Amino acid sequence: MEKKVRSRKKRQKFKLPKAGSSPGLVYIDENALQPKIVLHKFNQAGFETTKLNDLNNLSQLISDKSFTFWIEIKGFNSEKMFETISDDLHINKLVIEDITRTYQRPKMDEYDNYIFAVSRMLLLDDEKNLENEQLSYILTDNMLITLQEKYEDCLEPVRQRLRAGKGNIRAGGSSYVFYAINDTIIDTYFEILGVWGDDLDTIEDRLFDKPDRSIMFDTQMIKRNLISIRRVAWPERDKLNDMLRTDNPLITEGTKLYIRDAYDHCIQIIDIIESLKEISASNIDMYLSIISNRMNQIMKVLTVISSIFIPLTFIAGIYGMNFVKEDPVTGKLMPYNMPELYQSNGYLVTMLVMLFIAVAQVLYFWRKGWFK
């Protein structure tokens, strides 16, 4: 029984600004979620989490320089919230536009007193469809703001490390939290590629076992997703490279040591993507070759059958013309007509001749190896 083809999710589409529109406009989608704001306040001595209703007192909230702050914002359905961020932190309007226009490629932009960066957060849903979400960062000397459209994320390991207080995450400052989030996102790329690698191994087993049409569709879906993650991994590598090369004091030298490790991981991801792309292309080629060979085998069988029956059909056709030797009305002999038509045992002789020809052809084809 042919395996059911897994349904393919339609490509995610982003609403682009109209040509010639003014730069720096805040875009709020009509289906945008209500903001959920969580403030994480920590230093080496402790960690505290607070849920906020708004950002009206943002400057006052982050005024204590003995703490590092991580503000998580999920949901963009509040134009006033972005105005508060822009006014209180003196964030450029172009940055706010890049945050709300969630089709940006991974990048890092440096400004006078903050750094703006973008990552692409990839998640797999229950049907193994790829979810591609933008995560934006605003980094200052003692604060990191992360902004995303949806509520789901892959950042729970970072929160657990902050609660546990192990390692450098509390002592490393805002730039270290910035690195930790980037590193966690990159680690999810490894997990996703691992799932697709296992799927490709399963598809390869199905190729050798019993290939069916679903193999091509499943492989093509993985190949399409690999192209999507490749479009994320290359600019992510460039962003990490910019983080390593910058002289901006907001990213400390101690943090750069860890960023270099994340950069190496990104290189590995790119290598894995290229390898899986080759495997997926190979699986498709192998499937087409197997189908072609199967068709060749079918055509070979039909050719053998046709070759056996062509001379038999020829003989039957000749004796089916019924050109009699004697005119049944006048009794006149008809020269060059079939003398065998009224021969005794003619039917038996003809059948034996046809059987002999068929057996001789089968033996000939067998000796030629056509039945192997």
Q: Which residue has the higher pLDDT, 82 or 297?
A: 82
CB burial of 263-298 (b: ≥16 within 10 Å; e: otherwise) equals bebbeebbebbeebeebbeebbebbeeeeeeeeeee
Average pLDDT, integer, range 95-101: 93
Q: How far apart are CA 360 and CA 312, in angstroms?
A: 12
Average pLDDT, integer, range 140-149: 94
Q: Which residue has the higher pLDDT, 321 or 175?
A: 175
Q: How far apart are CA 195 and CA 136, in angstroms?
A: 26
The pTM of this model reads 0.78
Average of per-residue pLDDT values in the chain = 87
The most confident of the ranges 1-5, 28-32, 332-336 is 28-32
Q: At what angle do helices 173-209 and 213-245 cross, to 10 degrees?
A: 160
Which pLDDT does position 110 carry in this prediction?
95
Tens of pLDDT, residue by residue over 33-67, are: 999 999 999 998 889 999 999 888 888 888 888 89
39: β partners: 50, 71
Query: How does residue 366 score in pLDDT terms, banded at 50, 70 and 90?
Result: confident
Which pLDDT does position 13 carry in this prediction?
58
